[in-house]
Amino acid sequence: MIPAAFDYVVPRTVPEAIAELVKHGQEAKVLAGGHSLIPLMKLRLATPSFLVDIGRINSLNYIREEDGQIAIGALTTHHDIEFSDLLRKKLPLLSIAAAQIGDPQVRNRGTIGGAASHADPFGDFPACLLALDAEFNLAGARGERRIPARDFFVDTFTSALEPNEILREIRIATPPEGSLGTYLKFSRRSQDWAIVAVAAQVTVSGHDVARVAIGLTGMSSRPLRAAAVEQALRGKAAHDDDIRKASERAADGTDPPQDLNGSPDYRRHLAQVLTRRALEEVTAHH
C-alpha cells in the first residue's frame, strides 16, 4: 500500500531535529533507517503528517570505548555492529545478535537506535540491551536525560521516549575479562522475526558464576530479564547440572503471547531450551 501524505524535513543536527519535533508535536515522527516506521506507514498503521529524517546526522554514528564504557551512536547500523572489531572483542553478544537481524539490505539501513526506540517485543536488540544493563541518553527540548534499559522498554511499541525526544546514544559498561555473551534465536525460517530468543552475558570467576544476565525476546509485551535463572545460577559452579536446573526457571514470571507462531507453552519450552544452550555455550571453556 501507499502511505498517507506527509511532509518531510532532513535536519543536520540534533538540536534542529528536536526543534522540528517540538514545532510539529504529535503529528511528527522520527525516521532513522526506516525499517520499522515505513512498513507501518505503508499499512497505514502509522499516519504521521510530518517526518523528521535524522538519518544524515553523521555525529550519531559511532562505536567507541571511553571511561570504562562502550558508547554506540543511535544511528549506528546493524551491519556496523556486526562487523565492529571492538564489539566482536568486548561485546560479542551485540555482534552476534546484529548478524541475525533480517538480511544484508536490512542490516545496512536499520539502526540500533531505531530498533530500540521502536520497542518491538520480537525485536532482537531490546533483550540484548536489557541483558547488558545499557543506559540510554535521550536528547529533548529540556536538555538531556539518561534512562536505564530496565525503564526504557515500557510495553509493545512503547518506550520511555517523550514525543519531542531523540535517542542519541547507548552506553554499556565494558564487561570484565572472562565475561562472554551470545544471542540464540529460534524462528520459523531464516531472516524471520524470533519466536523466542535469549541474550546471555555471563562472567565466570574461577569456576563460579560471578555475574549472569539473561534477556528474553518474545516472552511478553516487552523484553524481560529471566531473573529466576540469574538468581539460581549466581555464585554457583558453571556445571551442566547447575545450568540445566537454573534454565528450567527461564519462563518464571513471563507472559508469553499466543499467535500463529506458537502457544504460550511452546514459548515457555523454547525459553528453557535456548537459555540452557546459551549458558552452556558461554561457559563451555571454563
Looking at residue 60, what is its pLDDT?
A: 96
Q: pLDDT value at position 192?
A: 81
User: What is the 3-class SS of the chain, one letter each residue?
Assistant: CCCCCCEEECCCCHHHHHHHHHHHHHHEEEECCCCCHHHHHHCCCCCCCEEEECCCCHHHCCEEEECCEEEEECCCEHHHHHHCHHHHHHCHHHHHHHCCCCCHHHHHHCEHHHHHHHCCCCCCHHHHHHHCCCEEEEEECCEEEEEEHHHHEEECCEECCCCCCEEEEEEEECCCCCEEEEEEEECCCCCCCCCEEEEEEEEEECCEEEEEEEEEECCCCCCEECHHHHHHHCCCECCHHHHHHHHCCCCCCCCCCCECCECHHHHHHHHHHHHHHHHHHHHCCC
Q: What is the pLDDT of residues 79-96, one digit of tens each?
A: 999 999 999 999 999 999
pLDDT for the residue 194: 92
pLDDT grade for 34, boundaries at 50, 70 and 90: confident
* pLDDT tens string 194-211: 999 999 999 998 888 999
| pLDDT at residue 191, rounded to an integer | 76
Domains and CATH numbers, the chain: 7-53 (3.30.43.10), 58-173 (3.30.465.10), 179-283 (3.30.390.50)
Mind listing the pLDDT tens digit for each residue in 5-33? 999 999 999 999 999 999 998 899 999 98
Residue 286 pLDDT grade (very low, low, confident, very high; cuts 50, 70, 90)? low
